[in-house]
Structure 1
Amino acid sequence: MYDTNKLRKYFPSTTVFKDPTVMSMFKAAKIESFLRDWILKRRSGADGAVGNINDLSNYVATIIPPRSEKERLEDEARSNGETRMFLAKINVSFNSKSNYYTFEIPSLGFSHSHTIIEDYVWNRIKDELIGEAGGWGLIKLGYMPPEGSKKNGRFTLLEFKNFCPYRVSLDDFREARTHFDVEEWMGILLGAIDYNPDGFARKGWIERDIWKAKHTMLTRLLPFVQPRVNLIELAPQQTGKSYMFGKISKYGWLLTGGQVSRTMLFIDRRPGARAKGLVTCNDFIAVDEIKSIEFANDKEMAGILKGYMEDGYVTVGGTRIDGEAGIVFLGNIAYENMDSDKDMIGDVNPIFRDSALLQRIHGFIPGQFVPALSPRMFINDWALNSEYFTEIMHLLRSTPETMKYRGMVEELVEVKSASGETSGREKEAVYRLCTAYLKLFFPHADSTLIRTQKFKQEFDKYCLTPAKSMQETVLKQMRFVNPGMFPDGNLGFSTYTVRWEL
């Protein structure tokens, strides 16, 4: 376990005490980690403890109203002129036909067709809403009665306040990182996503096994910090896949079960529709249960996914759709089948038995190294606030940050091929994964640090070696899908090494 006093010293305003009993209460209420920590920051004492569970429960019921409270909120808006402030996610859209903005609150059932944002409000809050086409925040609603011959009144947005209670600075984050060694930092990252770094050991495991389990758990965060990282993870049940991609960050989207369509992911082209696809306003899209997932049109979806995963955009009905979201595929398989030298995708949806689609996946997350979740794996101590950490990861995805870290990877990594030629997709995959790992484990890296031998050794262990293994697994699975690609059994995988002389 990391030194919690040291953690609180260098992150004085962005830590929270994570009590498993209290966290279980939030989990039972289906409240995401980033909302939970926002609430705990306000309702806990200086020692991190929650004084009165009943008071906390009542506060949660007030600040995050359930869908059953919609009519009460409607009555407040109509009768009192405004509602109380409450916490929710709001999505906005511009109605060009009527020349005004509308909003929806999906969790409560407020839809675009019955809402309006008046210009005087929009001009005050738009900077917080435009970037994400909406977002989580404290909201106050009002009501506009029908006017003239209009038949329907509309609910109005009176207030929107981003709920982030502290200054999020990458420079402060980087400076704080300099005070921890990489093993301490791994523990801090695990605590930030609710895991106890000392809880991963299993009977018969050696230190290398424990390290691999913790590193693999954190590998799931790569799409959180790096644009357009495409991954696949096939692992046993109860290893935390859905929790990680569905509950940790407000910037991602987890699709579970049901049918996945082009409309859902990219754009709704129906006349009058205004819906943006999920890839346009999320950091990643995780498609869960790929063994049973259904696509509206397998052939169409395979083609459009290949285009988007390769280039970051697709053209639908003459409209170009750009996105920075990575695509993550998740599924459960038996432990004995989790081996890169075996066919791991033999019984998933046929859409994945396409070597061209697999080629666009940057890496396989080695889920076989993550143990089944147990109570001892969850943190019971001070840790980084999950909401703060997800904001940091979101900021690390920006173009300037990505260019900076990618530049360091280009300096650090040397690639050689026995044939003299290197696959562009293979190299891009390894470099993109390395860039994401670098942001995660070494956010403080700069042109001076990367020239030290100690850093190069750590970069090789934490970044380059795992990235190579993840991409090599993709190539091995491609061989099962299309043996003709590698007729001699040789993957033709290039050699990637650290430039030790740098």
Structure 2
Amino acid sequence: MVVFKDLQQNNFISSFKLPSFMRDYVIKNFQDDDGEVDVDGATDFIRTYIPKKEDWKNLKNRIINNNETIKILAKVCVEIDIRTGDISFSLPDFGLGYKDTTIPRDVWDACSVNLLKAEENWGIIELGYQYPYDSKTPGKIKLIDFIDFCPYETDLEEYKTARESFSLDEWLDIVLSAVDYNPAGYENRAQKLSVIQRLLPFVEKNLNLIELAPPGTGKSYLFGQISRYGWLVSGKVTRAKLIYDIGKKADGIVAYKDFVALDEIREADYMKDTELHSALQQIMENRKYNAPDGHEVNVDAGIVFLGNISGSAMDEYSNMFLELPEPFHRVPFLDRIHGFIKGWDLPRMNDDLKAFGWALNSEYFSSIMHELRDDPSYRAIVDALIDMPPKADTRDTEAIKRICTAYLKLLFPHVRRPQDITSRDFNRYCLQPAMDMRAIIRIQMGIVDEKEAGKTVPSFSVIDA
């Protein structure tokens, strides 16, 4: 669960463009007790078992023409054909589709538990070739074995209990280093807490946020590289891939991920698709999408909008959404975004902010955050601790409680009952930040529509446990 991170010294791994969860796996396997990495061994492992997309043609040749079996560390998806009962797989990173593959029944019986853990699973995959039986039966690449990629076991209760041994400041440093930041590089606790905001949708279902920040503050890295349970859209994306493919009758990526972060929204052409942002609005409100063919896509993912902002626009009391696409100029769309992250509070990334020292493995920590999403006890504690004023707006209330719950999971995971956290800590580190994040959305709603001007978030208070 622990690895020595030196992101300046281990820059050789960055040349392979590995996500952090896979990077930590490699480093852990080639690191001694003092944190020194066998660079040659790690490099050979990566080149042997973690091929690039352009290596796939050579791998196919080895499998089909040289009759070799190969092992690679890759992402795999499975498909069960309802009509025939045949089981196939795809390797999305290499463009290998279901029609060209097969999983023999004995392999399926041995590996199905691990292959069905999620829509996409990382693991050591052994591949071979099933030759054509006759002219009517094509040859296929077959799965010979699958070993789940997880060099440890996650014990959520152990993690919660461990929090009791640390002060809040110590815990902040643990969390930051787990997601590849060096706590010593930040000026104060406030800066550290600003980074923590980005992790809120990692631990809470259907939490919708928007962050506007200057370039270079690391938002794309955090949402795109830390967790295999999330997905960063950088560049183009189709409505079919993101939400629902009506032709294939297949759910989009929002149905399978913990969060979907839409990067560079100011320049994103797909945000001009009125049907797409209408679907996003429906998902943010109802946690589902009703397709035109009657199919219902159920969604646990939070939607996170990311954009760069000029220095002159870094003011929550002015129109910060002026240069953003049309849906951000409409109150119904904005109202379904729970909170705003002021990315300008974060320093620009520099070498001093890169993790250094013993830290939680990023893959372990992202798995813990994934499991925290299914724990309802924290929301029950939030409900018990918050005193709501009469006639509080329902959307404001839900937004604040959802953000508040995420803060509680991240900062105080050891809390099992309302009595386990002081009113002061709950108010300062959970409730007030949640109200502040929602208040900015309220202010922007008032700017884009004068009918909303002057409306404020409810003034919640903390009930003494």
TM-score by length of 1: 0.89
**Match of residue 118 from structure 2:** 132
Deviation at 1:57, TM superposition (A): 1.1
**Match of residue 451 from structure 1:** 419
Q: How do residues 216-295 of structure 1 correspond to structure 2 at under 5 angstroms?
A: 216-258=194-236, 260-270=237-247, 273=248, 275-295=250-270
CA contact 1:100–1:116 (8 Å) conserved in 2 = yes
Could you give the per-residue CA deviations for residues 75-109 of structure 1, whole angstroms, max 9, x where no partner exists? Answer: 33335655232111112222334432221112223
1:424 paired with 2:394, answer yes
Deviation at 1:133, TM superposition (A): 1.6
CA contact 1:238–1:373 (8 Å) conserved in 2 = yes
CA contact 1:254–1:288 (8 Å) conserved in 2 = yes
Q: Residue type of the partner of 2:251?
A: K
Aligned residue for 2:92, secondary structure, equals coil
Q: How do residues 63-82 of structure 1 correspond to structure 2 at under 5 angstroms?
A: 63-78=49-64
Q: Give the Cα–Cα distance (whole angstroms) in 2 for the partners of residues 44 and 255 of structure 1.
A: 33
Give the stretch that moved more between structures: 119-128 or 315-324.
119-128
1:163 paired with 2:149, answer yes
**Match of residue 4 from structure 1:** none
Could you give the per-residue CA deviations for residues 91-131 of structure 1, whole angstroms, max 9, x where no partner exists? Answer: 22223344322211122231222112222222222222223
Identity between Structure 1 and Structure 2 (%) = 37
**Match of residue 439 from structure 1:** 409
1:320 paired with 2:292, answer no
Could you give the per-residue CA deviations for residues 16-64 of structure 1, whole angstroms, max 9, x where no partner exists? Answer: 100123442222221110000111111111112113x222211111120
Q: Give the Cα–Cα distance (whole angstroms) in 1 for the partners of residues 272 and 23 of structure 2.
A: 38
Deviation at 1:181, TM superposition (A): 0.9
Aligned residue for 1:495, secondary structure, equals coil
CA contact 2:208–2:338 (8 Å) conserved in 1 = yes
CA contact 1:261–1:296 (8 Å) conserved in 2 = no
Q: Give the Cα–Cα distance (whole angstroms) in 1 for the partners of residues 251 and 296 of structure 2.
A: 12
**Match of residue 388 from structure 2:** 415
**Match of residue 455 from structure 2:** 491
Q: Give the Cα–Cα distance (whole angstroms) in 2 for the partners of residues 189 and 128 of structure 1.
A: 28
1:184 to 164, 170, 179: 170
Give the stretch that moved more between structures: 143-152 or 216-225.
143-152
Q: Give the Cα–Cα distance (whole angstroms) in 2 for the partners of residues 140 and 164 of structure 1.
A: 16
Deviation at 1:138, TM superposition (A): 0.8
**Cα gap change, 1:274 to 1:151, in 2 (>3 Å):** farther
Q: Residue type of the partner of 1:467?
A: A
1:368 to 332, 344, 360: 344
Q: How do residues 334-483 of structure 1 correspond to structure 2 at under 5 angstroms?
A: 334-398=310-374, 401=375, 403-416=376-389, 420-447=390-417, 450-451=418-419, 455-483=422-450
Q: Give the Cα–Cα distance (whole angstroms) in 2 for the partners of residues 484 and 251 of structure 1.
A: 39
Q: Give the Cα–Cα distance (whole angstroms) in 2 for the partners of residues 298 and 163 of structure 1.
A: 37
Could you give the per-residue CA deviations for residues 155-198 of structure 1, whole angstroms, max 9, x where no partner exists? Answer: 11111111111111001111111100111000100000111111
Deviation at 1:335, TM superposition (A): 2.5
CA contact 1:200–1:377 (8 Å) conserved in 2 = yes
Q: Give the Cα–Cα distance (whole angstroms) in 2 for the partners of residues 423 and 101 of structure 1.
A: 49
Q: Give the Cα–Cα distance (whole angstroms) in 1 for the partners of residues 56 and 226 of structure 2.
A: 26
Q: Give the Cα–Cα distance (whole angstroms) in 2 for the partners of residues 157 and 285 of structure 1.
A: 30
Q: Give the Cα–Cα distance (whole angstroms) in 2 for the partners of residues 98 and 251 of structure 1.
A: 31
Aligned residue for 1:72, secondary structure, equals helix
Q: Give the Cα–Cα distance (whole angstroms) in 2 for the partners of residues 22 and 394 of structure 1.
A: 29
Q: Residue type of the partner of 1:302?
A: H
1:41 paired with 2:18, answer no
Q: Give the Cα–Cα distance (whole angstroms) in 2 for the partners of residues 135 and 285 of structure 1.
A: 17
In structure 2, stretches of 5+ residues that fail to align are: none
Give the stretch that moved more between structures: 374-383 or 90-99.
90-99
Aligned residue for 1:143, secondary structure, equals strand
Deviation at 1:151, TM superposition (A): 5.5
Deviation at 1:261, TM superposition (A): 3.1
Aligned residue for 1:220, secondary structure, equals helix
Could you give the per-residue CA deviations for residues 442-471 of structure 1, whole angstroms, max 9, x where no partner exists? Answer: 111011xx325x632222221111100000
**Cα gap change, 1:455 to 1:26, in 2 (>3 Å):** farther
Q: Give the Cα–Cα distance (whole angstroms) in 2 for the partners of residues 142 and 276 of structure 1.
A: 30
Could you give the per-residue CA deviations for residues 350-406 of structure 1, whole angstroms, max 9, x where no partner exists? Answer: 1221110111111001211101011101121111111110110111111xx1x2110
**Match of residue 301 from structure 1:** 276
Could you give the per-residue CA deviations for residues 393-424 of structure 1, whole angstroms, max 9, x where no partner exists? Answer: 111111xx1x21100001111121xxx31111
Q: Give the Cα–Cα distance (whole angstroms) in 1 for the partners of residues 220 and 190 of structure 2.
A: 20
Q: How do residues 71-220 of structure 1 correspond to structure 2 at under 5 angstroms?
A: 71-78=57-64, 83-150=69-136, 152-201=138-187, 210-220=188-198
Aligned residue for 2:79, secondary structure, equals strand
Q: Give the Cα–Cα distance (whole angstroms) in 2 for the partners of residues 442 and 465 of structure 1.
A: 15
Aligned residue for 1:149, secondary structure, equals coil
CA contact 1:200–1:213 (8 Å) conserved in 2 = yes
Q: Give the Cα–Cα distance (whole angstroms) in 2 for the partners of residues 472 and 66 of structure 1.
A: 45
Aligned residue for 1:21, secondary structure, equals coil
**Match of residue 204 from structure 1:** none
Give the stretch that moved more between structures: 141-150 or 247-256.
141-150
Give the stretch that moved more between structures: 114-123 or 221-230.
114-123
Q: Give the Cα–Cα distance (whole angstroms) in 2 for the partners of residues 199 and 69 of structure 1.
A: 39
Q: Give the Cα–Cα distance (whole angstroms) in 1 for the partners of residues 317 and 266 of structure 2.
A: 20
CA contact 1:73–1:83 (8 Å) conserved in 2 = no
Q: Give the Cα–Cα distance (whole angstroms) in 2 for the partners of residues 160 and 17 of structure 1.
A: 28
In structure 1, stretches of 5+ residues that fail to align are: 1-13, 202-209
CA contact 1:90–1:104 (8 Å) conserved in 2 = yes
